[in-house]
Amino acid sequence: MADADKKKKTKKKEDEAPAEKKKAQRSGSNVFAMFTQSQVQTFKEAFQMIDQDKDGFISKNDIRQTFDSLGRLCTEDELESMVKEAPGPINFTMFLTIFGDRAQGTDDEQVILNAFAQYDDGDGTCGEDVLKHSLTTWGEKFTMAEWETMVSEAPMVGSKIDIKKWAKIITGGGDDE
């Protein structure tokens, strides 16, 4: 009888072990669920290219070397700004999280307002033509079709764009009206 009880206890411990093992392997982040397996692989390859010293972390020096190899020299401030986008060391999970946050939506409303501030005519509005020229000419250029789609959602004050309301719409806050 004692052998039967012993076997039951042993069997019970064996049954519990896999559950404990699963908990230990479980990740605290679901950032990997945000991307397809192919996308994760692409990000992994990009991470490995940027991680110049192959230590598993992207440092300011890794970023500098990557930009240097692309023929673009970065200032110390630019490099520092890039590294500070992450709340901690940039390992692959953090790298994926940064891109996940960006892919999930847009920047915070204040970031967009700050970007639009250079176009503010002093009354919280900006001219459509000036903004159109900038967004279709510099940086990550919008196509004319993208511009038309985007501006069709812009709240207007006369012939000008209401910057604050538009930033709210862009960030998913909706229009106050």
87 secondary structure, DSSP code: S
**Helix (H) / strand (E) containing 125:** strand 125-127
Structural domain that includes position 98: 35-104
pLDDT, tens only, 159-171: 899 999 988 887 7
- Residues with Cβ within 8 Å of residue 91, at least 6 apart in sequence: 56, 57
Task: Choose the final residue of a domain: 86, 104, 122.
Answer: 104
Last residue of a domain, one of 104, 128, 160: 104
Residues 145 and 96 in one domain: no
**Domain co-membership, 67 together with 113:** no
Residues 45 and 96 in one domain: yes
What's the whole-model pTM score? 0.45
Mean pLDDT of 49-56: 94
Number of domains in the chain: 2
- Does a structural domain hold residue 120? yes
Same domain, 129 and 91: no
149: burial class by Cβ within 10 Å (0-12, 13-18, 19+)? exposed
Q: What is the CATH number of the domain that holds 40?
A: 1.10.238.10
2 is a domain residue: no
Same domain, 96 and 116: no
Same domain assignment for residues 61 and 113: no
28 lies in some domain: no
- The answer to whether residues 67 and 97 belong to one domain is yes
User: What pLDDT, on a 0 to 100 scale, did the predictor assign at position 26?
Assistant: 35
Residues 94 and 121 in one domain: no
Query: What pLDDT does 99 receive?
Result: 79
> Could you report the per-residue pLDDT of 56-91, keeping only the tens digit for each?
999 999 999 999 998 888 899 999 988 988 888 999
Residue 167 sits at the vertex; the CA angle it makes with 163 and 173, to the nearest 5 degrees, is 135
For position 11, what pLDDT does the model report? 47
Amino acid at 73: L
Residue 27 within a domain = no
- pLDDT tens track for 98-149: 877 666 655 677 888 888 888 999 999 999 998 899 889 887 788 998 898 8
pLDDT the model gives residue 60: 94
| Domain identity same for 100 and 154 | no
Q: How far apart are CA 82 and CA 130, in angstroms?
A: 29
Share above pLDDT 90 across residues of the chain, in percent, rounded to a whole number: 31
- Whether residue 85 is found in the same domain as residue 135: no
Percentage with pLDDT > 70 across the chain: 76
Task: Find the mean pLDDT for residues 43-54.
Answer: 93
- Residue that is written with structure tokens 């700050």 in the block: 114
Query: Closest by alpha carbon to 62, among 47, 42, 72?
Result: 47
Domain boundary among the residues 51, 70, 104 is at 104
Residue 111 has a pLDDT of: 82
Q: Are residues 94 and 153 in the same domain?
A: no
